């Protein structure tokens, strides 16, 4: 099969389309013919080796963390899916590889695709949808009437998280550029800050939750807009010891994560707020709940651009340029 691979971290070619063996189908797996694959900044970070300490992949490595497609084969123990089902998923972190013609995944990580959207739209949902769900529902336990600050509202995670937060009944503040103000308002943002003209710290205060997706300076400022007892969930780091324990990492990795996050945890403690790092986990059950919200019209995909599969490298470069409004996807079929 054809797949987009890297031969090493920071490879000079940035990745290439190559012929590789079709994946092995384990007893609990579904084999999916990939129709479309969503791109994420995570793919670029994996390519550069940013997570190699905690996610030590083997080469050649097929990139890709989002998929929508059709089941073409099921393992002997699979009970939830059958051949012909239209599905979508974020495969487990140890089994990524959606930039390919086929991918095998554990059925527990897979959900039926929302009927109301296309394959390309569905391919952009799993990683950002699960990230928003696990940040706002699981970690933050966001309640009706609470206030949440979601950074970069026009991006992949931000555009989904705004809609989820509004569905949960929260008041939502976000940052974006002037060109995207109307977009984030349509998604449900109540307070919109043009980050090029305004300092969000001068505008916002007394917030219950922050979803941080930006740099360390923004994170530190975000801690200060929280009310006492508030929670900041960061998807860009620094990782903490709890993350290392979730991964089952060696003791020295846990110690390193503790050291990396020591500064921000001290600042959070002084302000009487909570800091947590989130690295999203695959979950077919949570994705099924997201499917229900999409088919009910509570959340809609925000698409930026669809690239043909041979232009996967160009699609990654476009995403890394940081100007995408919503999701960037490659169409495989």
**Domain presence at residue 285:** no
Dihedral Cα 111, 188, 192, 287, nearest 10 deg: -10
| Residue 138, pLDDT score | 97
Q: Do 219 and 235 reside in the same domain of the chain?
A: yes
Domain boundaries, position 61: 2-125+301-331
In 3D space, the residue among 69, 100, 105 whose CA is nearest the CA of residue 87 turns out to be 69
What total number of domains does the chain contain? 2
Q: Is the residue at 289 inside a domain?
A: no
Q: Are residues 23 and 149 in the same domain?
A: no
Same domain, 314 and 219: no
**Is 178 within the bounds of a domain?**
yes
Same domain, 254 and 131: yes
- For the chain (333 residues), the mean pLDDT of every run of 10, in chain order, is 96 92 98 98 93 87 98 98 98 97 98 98 98 98 98 96 98 96 97 96 98 96 98 94 86 91 97 96 98 98 97 95 92 96
Q: Are residues 144 and 27 in the same domain?
A: no
Beta bridge partners of 147: 171
Quick one: pLDDT at residue 246?
86
Residue 207 lies in a domain: yes
Q: How many other C-beta atoms lie within 10 A of the C-beta of residue 274?
A: 18
Is 205 domain-assigned? Answer: yes
Res 247: pLDDT: 81
Give a yes or no: residue 284 inside a domain. no
| Pair (6, 54) in one structural domain | yes
Asked if residue 291 is part of any domain, the answer here is no
Same domain (yes/no): 166, 83: no
pTM of the model: 0.96
Would you state the pLDDT for residue 56?
A: 84
In this structure, the number of other CB atoms found within 10 A of the CB of residue 87 comes to: 23
Residues 137 and 113 in one domain: no
Q: What is the pLDDT of residue 248?
A: 84
| One domain, residues 75 and 193 | no
């Amino acid at each position: 099969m054809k797949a987009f691979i890297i031969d090493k971290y920071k490879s000079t070619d940035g990745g290439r389309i190559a012929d590789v063996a079709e994946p092995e189908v384990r007893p609990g797996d579904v084999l999916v013919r990939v129709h479309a694959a969503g791109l994420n900044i995570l793919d670029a970070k994996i390519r550069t080796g940013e997570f190699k300490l905690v996610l030590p992949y083997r080469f050649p490595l097929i990139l890709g963390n989002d998929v929508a497609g059709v089941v073409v084969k099921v393992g002997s123990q699979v009970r939830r899916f059958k051949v012909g089902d239209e599905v979508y998923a974020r495969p487990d972190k140890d089994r990524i590889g959606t930039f390919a013609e086929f991918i095998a995944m554990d059925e527990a990580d897979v959900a039926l695709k929302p009927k109301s959207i296309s394959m390309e739209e569905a391919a952009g949902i799993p990683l950002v949808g699960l990230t928003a769900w696990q940040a706002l529902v699981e970690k933050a336990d966001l309640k009706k009437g609470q206030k949440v600050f979601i950074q970069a509202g026009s991006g992949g995670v931000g555009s989904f998280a705004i809609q989820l937060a509004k569905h949960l009944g929260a008041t939502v503040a976000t940052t974006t550029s002037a060109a995207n103000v109307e977009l984030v308002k349509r998604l449900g943002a109540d307070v919109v800050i043009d980050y090029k003209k305004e300092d969000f710290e001068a505008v916002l205060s007394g917030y219950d939750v922050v979803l941080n997706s930006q740099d360390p300076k923004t994170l530190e400022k975000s801690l200060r807009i929280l009310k006492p007892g508030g929670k900041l969930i960061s998807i860009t780091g620094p990782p903490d010891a709890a993350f290392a324990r979730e991964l089952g990492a060696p003791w020295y990795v846990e110690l390193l994560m503790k050291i990396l996050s020591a500064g921000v945890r001290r600042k959070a403690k002084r302000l009487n707020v909570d800091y947590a790092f989130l690295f999203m986990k695959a979950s077919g059950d949570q994705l099924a709940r997201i499917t229900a919200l999409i088919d009910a019209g509570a959340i809609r995909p925000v698409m930026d651009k669809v690239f043909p599969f041979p232009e996967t490298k160009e699609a990654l470069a476009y995403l890394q340029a940081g100007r995408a409004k919503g999701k960037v996807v490659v169409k495989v079929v």
